[in-house]
Structure 1
Amino acid sequence: MAELTAELSDLLEKISLPQLVLGASTVLLLALFVGRLLFNNFPGKRPPVYEGIPYVGGLIKFSKGPWKLLHDGYAKFGEVFTVPVAHKRVTFLIGPDVSPHFFKAGDDEMSQSEVYDFNVPTFGPGVVFDVEQKVRTEQFRMFTEALTKNRLKTYVPQFNKEAEEYFAKWGDEGIIDFKDEFSKLVTLTAARTLLGREVREQLFEQVADLLHGLDEGMVPISVFFPYLPIPVHRKRDRCRKELSNIFGKVIRHRRESGHREEDVLQQFIDARYQNVNGGRALTEEEITGLLIAVLFAGQHTSSITTSWTGIFMAANKEKAWLPAVEEQKAIVAKHGTSLSFEALSDMEVLHRNITEALRMHPPLLLVMRYAKKPFSVTASDGKTYVVPKGDIVAASPNFSHMLPQIFKNPEKYDPDRFAPPREEQNRPYSFIGFGAGRHACIGQNFAYLQIKSIWSVLLRNFEFELLDPVPDADYESMVIGPKSCRVKFTRRKLL
């Protein structure tokens, strides 16, 4: 034994420190590599693992784009599979058979905060993902109260006003890009109904520039490193501070003067916590953060869905455009030329056109949760898997909406799939364009009214012709919109 110890000592003396570190590192990496291989292929109830090269395979697959990852993973494993990404695991649940728990579970089981806290620098402190669940629930309640039927009725005239004024500036004919035009218009309507008349009429250009700066500060790397000191993040932080100052002045003026408006800002000014924070009112900083959060949740999604609706209606004259025009004639005969809440609610054809556009191209490719507890899912083939605690769990509205066993001929624009007797959306968790379950989008009625207002004005006043083929979706963007598409408009007489 003594001789062996002496020989080992002599050997170590001959090895330099760099050689020793390199050797130890090699052994450690080899152990991790083998461990990951054994973990990925360990038999049991865990979802199958789609990785390839341990530790880097998942990153490589994500780098090729989430859509390709979803397509290849689903083709190989079906509705449930896990992609390790560095030290994290992302488990995908695709389709209505495996997604109920994702949408129904409470935040004590499936949490949003851990996967969406990268929004905190944009929204600001003390709101949404920077607070515990019971506070966030109260803040969402305040927004829900701003979207009751009676309040929505007050927003409709504001939608109409912005749309009519915007399109009145168009000439008799011209060439436009729906995406650009609707992005501008939806920002205007959001400014009036969400941010307040003062912002829309007196501060719009300044606020719009600052909001654009916030938007530019949301880049892919922000998801992983939201506080990285890069130029777009520094600009984001400056814009957020300036917005806080602007909204603070508007809020103080309303509170001190007693002046009131019919908008979401007023709802937040009047709101009070009920079960937390001692029943106090919202602070100026909280109101600012909630306004920004609400705007970000709806602005891009609404403008993109408005764009896709127009593109598909223009490309499907017989199936979509002409029935929508005929419906407008019937609405005018029944309600007159005014676009009231009741008139918009009666537009079932236009509603289906919008819904089908949203089915084909939901703005969010992935929605995610963090599994705080393990849970089981059973796929349509009867196989049951246990998703472990700590996984990031993802569902994809875009990919799920393209499953032919759920929606017949899914790549075909067919609004009638939502009409009786077909009603293909009625299977639970099949249509998830606005989410579903506990976290369904609380602003969906607001969005439908907004989009219907815009397209009612256009259907009554213009004809459109696509000069390019129906564009592909831009999967390189954070929010999935159409790529560039030229559209010719021609003004015609009112219906």
Structure 2
Amino acid sequence: MVTTKLARVRRPITLNPKSKRPLPPVVNVIALLEHLPRLCTKGVIPVYKGSVFTVSLFGLKATFLVGPEVSAHFYQGMDSEISQGDLYEFTVPLFGKGVGFDIDNATRTEHLRFFIDAIKTSKLRNHVNSMVQEVEDYFAKWGENGIVDIKHEFEKLLMLISGHCLLGKEVRDNMFDEVFSLFHELDSGVGLGSVIFPYIPIPSHIRCDKAHAKLAKIFSKIVRSRRDSNRPAEQDVLQYLIDSKHRDGNSTTEQEVTGWIISMVFAGKHTSTNSTTWTGACLLTHDKFLTEALDEQKHMIQKHGDHIDYNVLLDMDILHCCIKEALRMHPVAPIIYRKAQKSFVVRTREGDAYDIPEGHNLLSPMIFNNRLPYIYKDPHMYDPDRFAPKREEDKVGGMFSYTSFGGGRHICIGEAYAYMQIKVIWSHLLRNFELKLESPFPKTNWSKILLEPWGKVMVSYKRRRLPTA
């Protein structure tokens, strides 16, 4: 932990002439840039003074809101007050026209309803058997012992699960390798520079555009085929999106369905791979919690047998806390962005009030929020027990104390689906393998838009049957 005293070099506080309340203090950009290389290459979590401050660079003002006390309006404000701005325009080349951030907010909100309905709890239950089948089949191909890069293994396995639950049997059974490769190209073509210059014709963007065009062609063909077919409807998310209708009664279009399914798979593939990998790296370097997770699986087998279904997954409280703690320490998205469409006031924990002007870019940094020492005891330590019933530090800290899945009006709709996938994978691994992390604990790759473990994460395995007595 390194203290970077960004807040000590600030410009004088400016008052808002209309309200007489001060604007957020402005961090000296030179002081910020001094530490930027270290933040990006070393993965340093800075300790700063103050929970509200503005960084100004080339006329662009970005105000950081750190901690739950100053985050309520950021997460709960109406879209007319707090919007998602235009920063996410870089996703348009990834997902295509007519969906996501290529359309107005009202239409995007209507589209979001299809996503929510497609993976709501009542439908999640139907996916568990498919997930379990994919996991069992995948790990059945492992030998009696060996060494693998679990990040690569999880990427492929989670894509198989997506192929089964989201994309349908046409992809899963007939063109998985091609689709997996194309999504990998799509993923690898996006870097930090893509956020600022999403359309610049660099080689990675050209490869990304080609991959998107091929994926769009594949899924468009599947959508047309299903709509023209008299076969019974499939029970996957793709079919649900095909059958959905807009509020005006019109059917979803081929372009919309294609863009939605690409965006769902892209987002889920990357975030779930990283989350599953971090969970494993944390468990395999903390014997106490690994033992507790193993004991819980023994109890699950005693209580439910070898069978795993939706209710059994809900019963895995210890594994749930282990996953949640890994994501507290290693959130996939380091920062959430919004834009102030109207001015508003924030009040800090110390009682200071600041005016946030209209037009300010707003940042909620999860890499800071999840490690605040007045909310989380020893925040730099991996301690899943902090979420156990007797402590529940995130609940004691209040709303928006834990933001790994966002919060409020734009909370991640795939949270339950993500936990379910990770539980299915790690419950199977704990039951059937002795595991050891062979490589050093992975560092964070800060050069990515979505943070991931750096390099390979090598784990040795040996088959076993978990005893139940």
Instruction: Quote the Cα distance in structure 2 between the aligned partners of 1:485 and 1:286.
Output: 37
Aligned to 2:340: 371
Paired letter, 1:307: T
Aligned to 1:131: 103
Whether 1:401 aligns to 2:370 is yes
Comparing 233-242 with 136-145, which one deviates more in the overlay?
233-242
Aligned to 1:150: 122
Aligned to 2:434: 463
> Aligned to 1:309, which of 279, 298, 302?
279
* Residue identity (%): 43
> Per the alignment, do residues 315 and 62 of structure 1 end up closer, same or farther by CA in structure 2, a change over 3 Å counting?
closer
Unaligned runs of 5+ in 2: 1-9, 16-21
Q: Quick check: 1:59–1:86 contact (8 Å CA) kept in 2?
A: no
**RMSD of aligned alpha carbons:** 2.0
Whether 1:266 aligns to 2:239 is yes
TM-score of the two chains, using structure 1 as the length reference: 0.86
Aligned to 1:410: 379
Q: Quick check: 1:115–1:392 contact (8 Å CA) kept in 2?
A: no
Larger radius of gyration: 1
Q: How far did residue 444 of structure 1 move?
A: 0.6
> Aligned to 2:357, which of 388, 401, 404?
388
Q: How far did residue 64 of structure 1 move?
A: 5.2
Whether 1:445 aligns to 2:448 is no
Instruction: Quote the Cα distance in structure 2 between the aligned partners of 1:148 and 1:70.
Output: 37
Instruction: Quote the Cα distance in structure 2 between the aligned partners of 1:47 and 1:68.
Output: 28
Instruction: Quote the Cα distance in structure 1 between the aligned partners of 2:215 and 2:139.
Output: 29
> Per the alignment, do residues 70 and 439 of structure 1 end up closer, same or farther by CA in structure 2, a change over 3 Å counting?
farther
TM-score of the two chains, using structure 2 as the length reference: 0.91
Instruction: Quote the Cα distance in structure 1 between the aligned partners of 2:14 and 2:110.
Output: 44
Q: Quick check: 1:79–1:94 contact (8 Å CA) kept in 2?
A: yes
Tell me the alpha carbon deviations over residues 127-163 of structure 1, each in whole angstroms, 9 at most, x when there is no partner: 1111111211111110111112221111111111111
Unaligned runs of 5+ in 1: 1-38
Q: Please list, as runs of the form range in 1=range in 2, the aligned pairs for 1:40-439 lying within 5 A after superposition.
A: 40-41=11-12, 43-44=14-15, 45-53=22-30, 62=36, 65=39, 75=48, 77-259=49-231, 260-274=233-247, 278-318=248-288, 320-426=289-395, 427-439=398-410
Instruction: Quote the Cα distance in structure 2 between the aligned partners of 1:71 and 1:352.
Output: 23
Q: How far did residue 231 of structure 1 move?
A: 1.7
Q: Quick check: 1:61–1:69 contact (8 Å CA) kept in 2?
A: no
Instruction: Quote the Cα distance in structure 1 between the aligned partners of 2:230 and 2:264.
Output: 24
Q: How far did residue 63 of structure 1 move?
A: 5.5
> Per the alignment, do residues 481 and 350 of structure 1 end up closer, same or farther by CA in structure 2, a change over 3 Å counting?
same
Q: How far did residue 270 of structure 1 move?
A: 0.9
Q: How far did residue 477 of structure 1 move?
A: 2.2
Paired letter, 2:28: E
Instruction: Quote the Cα distance in structure 2 between the aligned partners of 1:108 and 1:486.
Output: 47
Instruction: Quote the Cα distance in structure 1 between the aligned partners of 2:180 and 2:435.
Output: 29
Task: From the two aligned structures, give the one with the greater helix fraction.
Answer: 1
> Per the alignment, do residues 66 and 91 of structure 1 end up closer, same or farther by CA in structure 2, a change over 3 Å counting?
farther
Q: How far did residue 43 of structure 1 move?
A: 2.6
Tell me the alpha carbon deviations over residues 448-472 of structure 1, each in whole angstroms, 9 at most, x when there is no partner: 1110000111011001112244222
Other structure's SS at 2:400 match? coil
